[in-house]
Amino acid sequence: MADEDNIIVQIKELDKVSLDVTEEDSRLAWHGLVQNLSNSDLEWLRAIFKSNVEDDDENGETGLDKNEFLNAISTLYGDERYSLQSQILFTNIAKENDRITWDNFLDFLIDNMCPDVETKLKLDLVSIEHVTHTKNESVAKIVLIETDKYFCYAIILKHGRVGLYDGNLNFLTSYHAIMTREDISRPEDERRRRNRWVTDALFCPDTLLFIITNSARTIVIYEASGLKHVPCWLIISTPNILETVAYKPYKKFDADSTKCVLFAGDCNGEIMSMVFHQPGTSLLRKKRTDDISLFYWEDFLKEKDYVTVKNYGKVHESGVNHIEYFAEKNILLSSSEDSNASVVVKYLNNKRKSAYYKIPKGVGCFAMSTQHKILITGSFNGIIRLWNFLISKAIYVVKEHSCQVVDLKVLDRQEIFIGCFWDGIVKIWDLKEYSCLQTLKLKFPSFAIHGKVIEWGINCIYPGPKRQQPGSGDDAERKKECFGINDIDEKKIESKNDKLREHHIFERSFLLVSCCNHIAKVRMNFNESSIELGFSYPILPPPPLQNSVLIPTNWGLQNEAITTEKFDRELNANVKKQLEELSFILDKNILEERDQRSDINYKIAILESKKEQMKAKVALGAPYLALDIANIQELSLPQSISCPSRKKSKKYADQIKQLLANASNKDEIFSEPSSSRSKSNRSSIVEFPL
């Protein structure tokens, strides 16, 4: 009977033990215990941990040992059903220690109870670098100047200084942008003025032009095919200050996109578009080939053959702070601090009416995911809102920070978005779950300077350098192609680039965050192996120092030596025959033999001599003295006038002939001596005796 009683007691004890998990090696053996804890249970456990203190302990809390922890769990549930799970939980928390505290308990639960989220992207700070050419001036914007062959950064300072850097942020060269008409004749070191600043800038990849707007109400357009940016056009006296610009490139082989468009939003809340009709030839008319062409706004509107300006009116009640064009939807988005029109969506095809988003205190920045049809807005109070783009309705509100949101970027393929706040906090959110995946603190040196005004610029998050695409062609083909607009096989090259289209522009090895005069270099670690594989390719080199001549591709000579046999073998009979027919061009004496010797050198020498004479006279303030005076031909009576036979009439006729002959001679127009002033006044008067 005693054995039977012991068996019954053991069975009753087993009924009290939870058999949710019986394997001590399981990492989730304690899940059943923790999941049954309510808020009141956690408060009771916290009181047990905090009550176990010692007077001589400076922290106050000594924690619980294993027996105390097991007794607390047993007391909480009223029996020992979770005794096995509580032992496993204590072992996992304490590890090699004998006691655990309330903080240890909470940290363990936070690290292990949160659902496992796939880490699509992780950011790691590499370095925070001082921009070489800034001195103490803040960075206004970083523009990526990139093509299929070349890449460089154009870092623009607040007051107009532009520095060019390669993909590794190595300084290349710098210049000061032209902002007013007076800056054309000023040296670069005298162009900086504190009462004017850069408002926005962008690079046009189809025309290789670099456009800068500023607070002086001007637009300057540079030719940016090389490291030396050449100013081409200056448009002054715009109606208002252009605060932000966006660009729609043209496509040469698309009949519906043969024109490029520059969108601009000004300080008055108005939006306009400038449609350029001849982007493949010239954006605007060139008044001078050797100098910048200047247009006042009224004259700019009259250039109907080159540009058409359309004003969309006052879209916002306050100034437009950001504007962006999305080619996938053919829409234009603009934002401002206007509460009634914080974000406006303009459908350029006019198929739908403009959509208005109303947000208290307006919007400081926004980002758009065309793939997921989600609009993300950032406010000045730190609130981030996610909107259903089609119905203009907020679907989620993120209130995780109190500082201003300064920039937002979306990675469509990764289904995440990145936000940067005023205090240097960078966060990554999941676009589907709306959960924060990572928080990174950027400690810029400007934050440690007492009284320093923190300036974030127009944008602050920029993609890293572009790398050579896999399978983009061998080096020989790369050397033959020039940097510029190429008319030879351009359609073939364009279709080839479409096939080799790279990942999203932010799916690159690094991310740049600018603040004041520093740039943080952040490493982007993607979970997708195909993206990480692309980071092993070299970064594209910067453009050449000198602007290359835009010549057809097949005119370029290869660097490798070509033997005569190979050259003759590749040429066909027709080409050889044409070369023989044109061989006379190499004969230097051909013009002399045909009495057709050119006197071009003599004419050039005469022209240079006249230019020197003109400079000397202009320096004296009398340029008219350098003008060539035409020789006066001898004046005479027409032969058709018959000479009279009468003696008296013949006498008068002879006198008239004499007077005309004297008038032809500059030195004998007047016989009496007089001053040069009187001669000049009477040089055209011919007196006849009565």
pLDDT tens digits along 179-197 = 999 998 888 888 888 789 9
The answer for residues whose C-beta is within 8 angstroms of residue 439's C-beta and 6 or more apart is 425, 426, 427, 428
E strands within 224-290?
230-236, 242-248, 260-266, 270-276
| pLDDT score recorded for residue 637 | 62
Q: Over the stretch 421-430, which tens digit does the pLDDT of each residue have?
A: 999 999 999 9
Q: Where in the chain is the domain with CATH 2.130.10.10?
A: 121-463+472-534
pTM above 0.95, yes or no: no
* pLDDT higher than threshold 80 for residue 481: no
d(CA 56, CA 58): 6
| pLDDT score recorded for residue 14 | 38
Q: Over the stretch 318-361, which tens digit does the pLDDT of each residue have?
A: 999 999 999 888 899 999 999 999 999 999 888 888 889 999 88
* Rounded mean pLDDT, 544-549: 64
pLDDT grade, residue 13 (50/70/90)? very low
The answer for residues whose C-beta is within 8 angstroms of residue 129's C-beta and 6 or more apart is 169, 518, 519, 520, 521
* pLDDT higher than threshold 90 for residue 212: yes
Q: Which of 151-160, 301-310, 541-550 has the lowest mean pLDDT?
A: 541-550
* pLDDT higher than threshold 50 for residue 539: yes
| Residue 501 DSSP SS3 | coil
Q: Over the stretch 117-126, which tens digit does the pLDDT of each residue have?
A: 567 889 999 9
Residue 589, strand partner residues: none
d(CA 196, CA 216): 6
Kindly list the strands in the beta sheet with 218-223, ordered across the sheet, starting from the edge strand earlier in the chain: 198-204, 209-214, 218-223, 230-236, 293-296
Q: Which of 527, 453, 443, 509 is nearest to 127 (CA)?
A: 443
Residue 130, strand partner residues: 518
Question: For residue 153, which amino acid is it?
Answer: Y
* Rounded mean pLDDT, 429-446: 90
| pLDDT score recorded for residue 188 | 82
**450 vs 667, higher pLDDT:** 450
Of 28-37, 94-103, 113-122, 425-434, where does the model show the most confidence?
425-434
d(CA 179, CA 235): 10
* Rounded mean pLDDT, 534-563: 65
CB atoms within 10 A of CB 610: 12
Q: Which of 119-123, 533-537, 643-647 has the lowest mean pLDDT?
A: 643-647
| Residue 10 DSSP SS3 | helix
What is the chain's mean pLDDT, rounded? 79
Q: Over the stretch 236-275, which tens digit does the pLDDT of each residue have?
A: 999 999 999 999 998 877 767 789 999 999 999 999 999 9
Percent of the chain exceeding pLDDT 90 equals 38
| Residue 553 DSSP SS3 | helix
| pLDDT score recorded for residue 523 | 94
- Strands 293-296 and 230-236 come out as parallel
Q: Which of 20-34, 213-227, 350-364, 579-593 has the lowest mean pLDDT?
A: 20-34
Q: Which of 280, 223, 224 is nearest to 254 (CA)?
A: 280
| pLDDT score recorded for residue 317 | 92
Question: What are the two backbone dihedrals, phi and then psi, of residue 82, each rounded to the nearest 5 degrees?
Answer: -105, 25
* pLDDT higher than threshold 80 for residue 383: yes
| pLDDT score recorded for residue 641 | 64
d(CA 59, CA 580): 100
pLDDT grade, residue 585 (50/70/90)? low
Question: For residue 37, which amino acid is it?
Answer: L
| pLDDT score recorded for residue 588 | 57
The answer for residues whose C-beta is within 8 angstroms of residue 451's C-beta and 6 or more apart is none
**Per the structure block, which two tokens stand in for 189?**
């070191």
* pLDDT higher than threshold 70 for residue 108: yes
Q: Over the stretch 218-239, which tens digit does the pLDDT of each residue have?
A: 999 999 999 999 999 999 999 9
Q: Over the stretch 53-74, which tens digit does the pLDDT of each residue have?
A: 655 444 556 788 888 888 888 8
d(CA 340, CA 363): 11
| pLDDT score recorded for residue 334 | 95
CATH number of 121-463+472-534: 2.130.10.10
Question: Cα–Cα distances in Å, from 618 out to 71, 265, 410, 610, 611?
Answer: 107, 46, 61, 12, 10
